[in-house]
Structure 1
Amino acid sequence: MDEEKLVFETELLMNGQDLNEMQIAECVNHLTSEDASPQQKKSFLAALAKKGESPSEFSCFVSEFKKRAINPGLERFANSAIDLCGTGGDQAGSFNVSTFVSFMVAAAGIPVIKHGNRSISSRCGSADLLQAIGIPLDAPPEKIRSGLETLNFAFLFAPNYHPAFKNIAPVRKLLAEEGIVTIFNLLGPTLNPAKPAHQLLGVFDPKYLTRIGNALRENGTSHGMIVHGHLAKEKVKGVDELTACGDNSVFAFGRMESEGIETWSPSKWNQNTFDFADLKGGDLDENLRIMERALSADCRPGLLATILINAATAFLVCGKVASFEEGIDLSQSLLKGGRVRKWLEEVRNFFAKR
């Protein structure tokens, strides 16, 4: 093990200097291999976190880790597909809105290639919920492709497609125990190995809106929206999704290009403003109960409005509808007409057949 690995770059970061593209490529090689010690990796990541990643650095890290991802072989779907996800880390304990909305989008006929993981900061992550409804995390590639063809839905369990993270995981855990937020808290949602052309991505802090949005655009995403929902009267400052419980900060490119960061209130979708308590989720069993009610549009009103807002926006990002009003109407009809419930039953039947 070379004791000099990452030392020079760590010193640059400690002196407040940004790394260039070649330096980042070399650093990622060391981070993802065993030629640098855990202490060297920890020092490097802590120094990067303290300095703060520049937009250029963040985009380069996205590019380098995308190169190392396993290709799931879904290229023919990518141009029309969307991923809906959040960074997590908002400590809000809300229901799995983006996962539920991905069901609605798939039921409407749009290919969804969802890339996610188990819960880290919440009691129920996307992978936990999907596995509970019958979607296996270890489905073979041919089953994943067939599911996308038949149901407009594929789930890519992140650990299966990013072996490069194996040699970083122990160091990330150590840093997390020390309360250090590293670049890896943000990278995950930007690294979908199927490279869908559309993305609706929520962030736990609005300061990351443009950084993540520009990184996605520079790395091949055609139409994207990065969002953060504010919660004015709550202990939790905000959530990593659009919400009907306060204003939303939005940065978009492509089909819905924004002029910098815009502020959208629930009234933009003709929705009222609700209390954040309506969005609260729980453990897996509780979230399954909430999901069951949401399938009939019979959940708490603030949660229903939040679901409709996110689904309508996803339809706009994909070009499925021409206005928020049309998107809300489509979203309501999918739930009240039973289409999403029927789709979910088709999913269960499909994956029950091995």
Structure 2
Amino acid sequence: MKVSLNDYSELLASGYNLDRNQISQVAGLLIDNGVDEDSKCAFLKRFSAKGETDEEFAGFVSEFRKLAKNPQLDDYADRAIDLCGTGGDRSGSFNISTFVSLVVAAAGVPVIKHGNRSISSKCGSADLLEALGIPMETDPEKLNASLSELNFCFLFAPYFHPAFKCLAPIRKKMAEEGIITMFNRLGPCLNPATPAHQILGVYDPVYLEQMAHSLASNGSKSGWIVHGIVDEKTSQRMDELTACGPNHIRPYGTGKDSKITLEPNHWGIGRYPKKDLNGGTLQQNLSILRGLLNGDAPAGLRATIIINVSSALWIAGNVGSIEAGILWAEELLCDGSVSRWLNKAREHFAK
């Protein structure tokens, strides 16, 4: 007997946790155009109300990864890193993880960045990269060539996850109703290349453990799930490591797999005000990026970039300590390496 999505909603209402076989069936029903939107909305509301277990969330990550297009980046994935966040922190910040990705690539570390256009912000990673002359490549041969030449490629999420297209109206409806579902967090876990390492920011520290478990159980070797407190008086927070306050971190695969909290002074850096991280429109963020390249950016933003770059270099195994990563990050920002990398990238994609 075929089980409907409404049947699963009834199970959830009783507090039932789904097993892997049921998760596979539900994932199929959610992307089935033949299943009505009301049933999908009802299921997501029930699932959100029950709360996903770590195993359930990891199961959905596994199922939706299976549905993704394969970018065929196996020659690089086993030493590559992805840096991204869930968004949804309403911080209005600059594209920190995107710029950090470029700095890390300039250091020679393969970066397979997975992202999208603006959703909750004024300027998404894809928007900024396109403005810098980095197109949304989809052909595996071109993606491999980009990694070979630049140590960087960008996987545009809507192309690599076509199954999610039919879910867009449901996700929009949920957002309009203020309902947070698993789809608010799934995207950063679904890099179709499965890079070995990841720094993933979450908008709420309650999800640190869940996200770490999901990545570790779905092929990621090591990484940090992070959440930054940028103003302790107002409890303002971000899906980033920052130089503005304490950073909650859940490492996995690094030998210390329990939650830690690190102040900016762990990186030898003082605290800075959150306003230093503020971003804006695409044009405003391009101006901020030029300031970072020219040594004319807010001190707190530069410090935040150093924190993230040094951490990424260490997680990817390219330095033996955070301290060594800090020195390298500072050198990359000061010696023109990133500007030269961007010029090389423009030349590469102009061919």
TM-score range, shorter chain: over 0.9
Alignment of 1:64-83 (within 5 A): 64-83=63-82
Q: Distance in 2 between matches of 1:202 and 1:228?
A: 6
Q: Distance in 1 between matches of 2:257 and 2:140?
A: 40
2:328 aligned partner, one-letter code: L
SS in 2 for 1:89: coil
1:185 aligned partner, one-letter code: N
Give the deviation of 1:257 after TM superposition.
Answer: 3.2
Give the deviation of 1:243 after TM superposition.
Answer: 0.5
TM-score by length of 1: 0.96
Runs (4+) of structure 1 moved beyond 6 Å? Answer: none
Give the deviation of 1:4 after TM superposition.
Answer: 6.5
Is 1:16 matched with 2:15? Answer: yes
Q: Distance in 2 between matches of 1:236 and 1:159?
A: 33
Alignment of 1:129-168 (within 5 A): 129-168=128-167
Q: Distance in 2 between matches of 1:32 and 1:224?
A: 30
Q: Distance in 1 between matches of 2:268 and 2:49?
A: 42
2:250 aligned partner, one-letter code: F
Is 1:59 matched with 2:58? Answer: yes
2:209 aligned partner, one-letter code: T
Give the deviation of 1:160 after TM superposition.
Answer: 0.6
Is 1:310 matched with 2:341? Answer: no
How far does the alpha carbon of each residue in 1:38-72 deviate from its partner, in whole angstroms, 9 at most, with x for none? 11111001111111111010000000001111000
Give the deviation of 1:253 after TM superposition.
Answer: 1.3
Give the deviation of 1:119 after TM superposition.
Answer: 1.1
Q: Distance in 2 between matches of 1:9 and 1:125?
A: 35
Is 1:279 matched with 2:254? Answer: no
Q: Distance in 2 between matches of 1:173 and 1:3?
A: 28
Query: Is the 8 Å Cα contact of residues 82 and 114 (structure 2) preserved in structure 1?
Result: yes
Q: Residue in 2 aligned with 1:331?
A: 329
Give the deviation of 1:258 after TM superposition.
Answer: 2.5
| Matched positions, count | 351
CA RMSD of the aligned region, Å?
1.4
SS in 1 for 2:240: coil
Q: Residue in 1 aligned with 2:24?
A: 25
- Indicate which of 286, 289, 310 corresponds to 1:288: 286
SS in 1 for 2:294: coil
Query: Is the 8 Å Cα contact of residues 41 and 174 (structure 2) preserved in structure 1?
Result: yes
How far does the alpha carbon of each residue in 1:185-213 deviate from its partner, in whole angstroms, 9 at most, with x for none? 10000000011001011111111111000
Give the deviation of 1:235 after TM superposition.
Answer: 4.5
Query: Is the 8 Å Cα contact of residues 5 and 35 (structure 1) preserved in structure 2?
Result: no
- Stretch deviating more after TM superposition (33-42 or 279-288): 33-42
SS in 2 for 1:166: helix
- Stretch deviating more after TM superposition (224-233 or 240-249): 224-233
Give the deviation of 1:336 after TM superposition.
Answer: 0.5
Q: Residue in 2 aligned with 1:182?
A: 181
Q: Residue in 2 aligned with 1:94?
A: 93
Q: Residue in 2 aligned with 1:246?
A: 245
Query: Is the 8 Å Cα contact of residues 5 and 40 (structure 1) preserved in structure 2?
Result: no
2:200 aligned partner, one-letter code: L
Is there any run of 5+ residues in structure 2 with no aligned partner, and where?
none
Give the deviation of 1:16 after TM superposition.
Answer: 1.8
Q: Distance in 2 between matches of 1:197 and 1:212?
A: 15
Q: Percent identity?
A: 50
Q: Residue in 1 aligned with 2:220?
A: 221
Q: Residue in 1 aligned with 2:267?
A: 269
Query: Is the 8 Å Cα contact of residues 278 and 303 (structure 1) preserved in structure 2?
Result: yes
Q: Residue in 2 aligned with 1:43?
A: 42
SS in 2 for 1:167: helix
Is there any run of 5+ residues in structure 1 with no aligned partner, and where?
none
- Stretch deviating more after TM superposition (236-245 or 182-191): 236-245
